[in-house]
Structure 1
Amino acid sequence: MSKEVEEPVKELFTDISLYLLGAQTRVERAFFRFFDSLFPLVYSRLINPGITDLSEEYTECLRLTRQDINPFGRYSKEAVAELTKSLRASRMFNQALGMGIEVLNATEHTILTKECTRALVKMQYCPHCQGLTLIRPCEGYCLNVMRGCFASVSELDASWREYIYTLEYLTNEMAGAHDLELVLLGIRYTINEAILYAQLNGPQLSATVDKVCGQPEEKEVKPLPDNIVQVKEIVEKPSITMAHSATVNNKRSSLPLKASKNDKSRSLKKMSREFITYMKRSRTLYASLADRLCDGDLVMKDSSTCWNGEDVVESYTNRVVTNGLKAQIDNPELKVKGLDPHVSSLIEKLHHFNQLATERKHFKSERWTIRESGSGNGMNEELESSGDCDDEDGCQGSGDRSYTKVSNVSSTVCSSSKWIYP
């Protein structure tokens, strides 16, 4: 049986991997397909080991009736519920990383305006024309030039700070409240419990299947030891199963395994903490960019003279403006026309992403879906929430409840992004 179940297991984990990478798929459906494929194998190999190879028609009947018969009890839904929460947090975390990379790459290759280029040349090279090769710009002069050049980029500050908070929240979700590592380790346990449940209820399942699908051909065969669980073991198991059912409402009850203590250096939790600690240092990246550029060998600090753009002076006497686009109105060194359209697009994307994460954090929903409505730069999003429904209930949305539309959000986002948030 282990070889026969290899393909369904591969398909399940392939779907999980694709989901984490952003594919338009649903974890619930992937898991239910797995249990649909598992039921015929359990039925013919464990519940009724004397059955010959099932016909395609009979196998398909078992697959189609699995959701109605519910041979695996609560375990099929439990496996989906806990894993889905963790995978959604991990999926959104992966999308957050993609968003951060996009913003950093875009700002790294920001095109300087003509006014900025002239101001930089004047600050850095004009002293050379007068033979002043060792003199360096005054600190205040440098700050005015750099703050003017990066006025648009500095407007990312508020959205970037919020993005880092979002990243921190998602990291805690993925490695804390919904520890993906423990959930994945617990899949095997939950599936084993589901199979045992089906075996314990074998006679009732067989009677129900006979009514729905008819009786398959049978012949006397000696069951293989590795294909069945001995009757003695089945009799001894109920007490364990009943004890487990008493605590199944505990969110962690289906996760008895713990990450290996011998592999702490590679644990997801530790790596996540190190990552977010590193990322928090960049919280003020765009607010302090100009200051960092002028806080080094570029300017003259310990000398009595410096270059102010016109001559060598003892100190820079012009007004030093602060960061931000509005403050550049009073910049004496260069004129800033307005917000760079490309930076404006990045701000909008970050704001949109942060908004979705905030809604996920404060709105208790089981399912959020953002559907792409076309190609190009536009995306029409629809946030939907659901209660306790899943595909096993035979509905598209939420169990006994119908989908409730929360809001419609329209925003310009990367056309390659296909986001599905719970």
Structure 2
Amino acid sequence: MSHPVSLPGEHLRMCPQGPTCCTSAMEENLAGLSSQETEGLIREAGRALQAALNALHRGFDTYFTELHGHSERSLQDVLSPLGSLYSQNTRLYGDLFADLRRYYRGSALNLDENLSDFWSRLLERTFKTSTPPDVSLSEDYLECVAKQQETLRPFGDIPRDMKAKVIRAFVTARSFIQGLSVSADVVRKVSQVSLGPECSKALMKLVYCPHCRGLASVKPCSSYCSNVMKGCLANQADLNPEWQNLIDTMIQVASSFSTEPSLDVVLSSIPARIYEAVQYLQENMNKFTAKVYQTCGTPFESGTKSPPLQEEKKKSSSLTALKYKPSPTAGVRLEMQVSDLSSKLREMRQYWVQLPVALCSKLSAGRNSQDNCWNGITKARYLPEVMGDGLANQINNPEVDLDITKPDMTIRQQIMQLKIMSNRLKNALDGNDVDFQDASDDISGSGSGMCVGGHCPRSRPGLYAYPPDNNRVRGTAASQPGICSLLLLLPLTVLLLQR
């Protein structure tokens, strides 16, 4: 049995009273449908932003790991002139690069301690190589030699200088990819927050009530749409200050990669700096050995002849880090990386306050139709002023009745995650290592939370709303009887395409 085309309308609870073709059940179903569709659009917009962040993460990670790998592969070319000091200690050098790689990936190791340990071990091996073969050095004696690394500075200023630059490079790089990961995870969680019942009612009135009044072709007034969406997304808009702060800090960190000494110079010069350090020690071995004998004793029994001091080595091929600076093309590639990261991050700054605007730009009437648009009651101009962004500004929102004293706790937690990550990045900018624990319970430094359903899109879609898959809601619609049930075949996505 079909429903009548026109009903008095006293039964309506969301739409304005008056002649209608919607029953109470129709109104209820359409309200649910408008919420589902809007939530679908918000999730699609979120997935697009996640994909964009994921693409930045993937691009920078590829760039950085290639820099690291190239530096490691150049070890043999740079250090082979050291002879046995290189060939018999390849694991020592390999372990240094493995530790750097693990640190970048998020391992909770202390990079300062690891680098200090590397130089101490290298000092042991270099001293042992320079000692005459008939002199036996005990483990305890070599340990004493290694402890002179900080006090006697046998490698000159190179370890201290290299440590400061390497730590800064790796702290900023690791914090940067973690910032991208945390940002994407915040977007994922916030985009899944359900819209409340007061929003569902407002969306019904905005989208489907004109259909119930026989005004299907009349689009909502843009100011009216803005008030509805700003009310529905008020909690999301409260992310904006901390979101912008995090994006701005990530842009600062990206810019620091090209500040001298740039990221590529620091990484590519590690083998050359090690070579320089060993050369420095070998050229000054007699002075160092004499001081070691004073501190650690002589590595031979009393009464026997003291081991002869080596003849001072003349500085041979002066290999410096300058010779191992990246090629001009490497410098250009870094500049392109920094420029691309910065420009794409800037596009994301206003995401949370632009989301209502983006949804309304597709849904509402154009500026030239502001006298002939749906204002929530009839086809006429919408007079109330447009509210500001965020929960506090919705106190007088005429369209969405919100309790501004009860913010969404999921979103408040994500605001805190943004704040924590910003502080980490600011510490990294100062070259300070930070306690590197995941900012949330289910993400990791490798970038989980950035890909949807295990699939990481390679392209970078736009940042705003996409029509959702409406197969499920269409199935609901098809079950409704009567002529007015045709309304259920006019989901929000159709309206979005009518612009």
Report the TM-score, using the length of structure 2 for normalisation.
0.60
The alpha-carbon distance between structure 1 residues 416 and 179, as it changes in their structure 2 partners (threshold 3 A), is: farther
Q: 1:307 matched to which residue of 2?
A: 374
Instruction: Give a deviation string over 1:189-213, Cα, whole Å, max 9, x none.
Output: 2111111112112234444555626
Cα separation, 2, equivalents of 1:100 and 1:170: 15
Deviation, structure 1 residue 23: 3.2
Deviation, structure 1 residue 171: 1.4
Deviation, structure 1 residue 334: 1.4
Cα separation, 2, equivalents of 1:175 and 1:156: 30
Name whichever structure is richer in helix by fraction.
2
The alpha-carbon distance between structure 1 residues 300 and 51, as it changes in their structure 2 partners (threshold 3 A), is: farther
Q: 2:224 matched to which residue of 1?
A: 141
| Residues 31, 80 of structure 1: 8 Å contact kept | yes
Cα separation, 1, equivalents of 2:428 and 2:267: 22
Matched, 1:323 2:389: yes
The alpha-carbon distance between structure 1 residues 415 and 62, as it changes in their structure 2 partners (threshold 3 A), is: farther
Cα separation, 2, equivalents of 1:70 and 1:359: 28
Deviation, structure 1 residue 366: 6.7
Q: Which of residues 17, 22, 28 is equivalent to 2:101?
A: 17
Matched, 1:124 2:207: yes
Q: Residue type of the partner of 1:299?
A: S
Please list every run of 5 or more consecutive structure 2 residues that lacks an aligned counterpart in the other structure.
1-83, 302-310, 446-499
Q: 1:201 matched to which residue of 2?
A: 284
Q: What's the secondary structure of 1:307's corresponding residue?
A: coil
Cα separation, 2, equivalents of 1:257 and 1:299: 59
Larger radius of gyration: 2
Cα separation, 2, equivalents of 1:205 and 1:319: 79
Instruction: Give a deviation string over 1:287-309, Cα, whole Å, max 9, x none.
Output: 2221121112x122255633233
Identity %: 26
Report the TM-score, using the length of structure 1 for normalisation.
0.70
| Residues 370, 418 of structure 1: 8 Å contact kept | no
Deviation, structure 1 residue 236: 4.1
Deviation, structure 1 residue 286: 1.7
| Residues 156, 277 of structure 2: 8 Å contact kept | yes
Matched, 1:335 2:401: yes
Cα separation, 2, equivalents of 1:418 and 1:51: 52
Cα separation, 1, equivalents of 2:358 and 2:215: 24
The farther-off stretch of 162-171 and 1-10 is 1-10
Q: Residue type of the partner of 2:393?
A: A
Cα separation, 2, equivalents of 1:186 and 1:42: 20
Name whichever structure is richer in strand by fraction.
1
Q: Which of residues 231, 243, 262 is equivalent to 1:160?
A: 243
Please list every run of 5 or more consecutive structure 1 residues that lacks an aligned counterpart in the other structure.
218-230, 245-253, 378-412
Cα separation, 2, equivalents of 1:305 and 1:185: 65
| Residues 244, 350 of structure 2: 8 Å contact kept | yes
Cα separation, 1, equivalents of 2:297 and 2:150: 14
Cα separation, 2, equivalents of 1:127 and 1:80: 68
Q: 2:194 matched to which residue of 1?
A: 111
Cα separation, 2, equivalents of 1:76 and 1:259: 21
Deviation, structure 1 residue 315: 2.4
The farther-off stretch of 60-69 and 329-338 is 60-69
Q: Residue type of the partner of 1:29?
A: E
| Paired residues for 1:47-58 under 5 Å | 47-48=130-131, 50=133
Q: 2:417 matched to which residue of 1?
A: 349
Q: Residue type of the partner of 2:364?
A: V
Q: Residue type of the partner of 2:193?
A: T
The farther-off stretch of 73-82 and 55-64 is 55-64
Cα separation, 2, equivalents of 1:208 and 1:359: 39
| Residues 258, 335 of structure 2: 8 Å contact kept | yes
Cα separation, 2, equivalents of 1:359 and 1:75: 24
Instruction: Give a deviation string over 1:165-193, Cα, whole Å, max 9, x none.
Output: 21221112222245221111121221111
Instruction: Give a deviation string over 1:13-61, Cα, whole Å, max 9, x none.
Output: 222223333433322211111112222332333x247468966555545
| Paired residues for 1:26-65 under 5 Å | 26-45=110-129, 47-48=130-131, 50=133, 59-65=142-148
Deviation, structure 1 residue 154: 0.9
The alpha-carbon distance between structure 1 residues 416 and 290, as it changes in their structure 2 partners (threshold 3 A), is: closer
Instruction: Give a deviation string over 1:346-372, Cα, whole Å, max 9, x none.
Output: 2233334445655776xxx77465587
Cα separation, 1, equivalents of 2:134 and 2:217: 92
Instruction: Give a deviation string over 1:225-273, Cα, whole Å, max 9, x none.
Output: xxxxxx89x42449x69xx9xxxxxxxxx666433223466x2332022
The farther-off stretch of 136-145 and 97-106 is 97-106
Q: What's the secondary structure of 1:322's corresponding residue?
A: coil
Q: 1:189 matched to which residue of 2?
A: 272
Cα separation, 1, equivalents of 2:348 and 2:216: 34
Q: What's the secondary structure of 2:277's corresponding residue?
A: helix
Deviation, structure 1 residue 65: 4.8
Q: Residue type of the partner of 1:306?
A: C
Q: 1:385 matched to which residue of 2?
A: none
The alpha-carbon distance between structure 1 residues 44 and 299, as it changes in their structure 2 partners (threshold 3 A), is: same
Cα separation, 2, equivalents of 1:316 and 1:51: 97
The alpha-carbon distance between structure 1 residues 367 and 284, as it changes in their structure 2 partners (threshold 3 A), is: closer
Cα separation, 1, equivalents of 2:115 and 2:323: 20
Q: 1:75 matched to which residue of 2?
A: 158
Q: Which of residues 283, 296, 299 is equivalent to 1:215?
A: 299
| Paired residues for 1:86-105 under 5 Å | 86-105=169-188
| Residues 58, 216 of structure 1: 8 Å contact kept | no
| Residues 387, 393 of structure 2: 8 Å contact kept | yes
Q: Which of residues 85, 90, 98 is equivalent to 1:6?
A: 90
The alpha-carbon distance between structure 1 residues 358 and 205, as it changes in their structure 2 partners (threshold 3 A), is: closer
Q: What's the secondary structure of 1:80's corresponding residue?
A: helix
Q: 1:409 matched to which residue of 2?
A: none
Q: Residue type of the partner of 1:235?
A: K
Deviation, structure 1 residue 330: 1.6
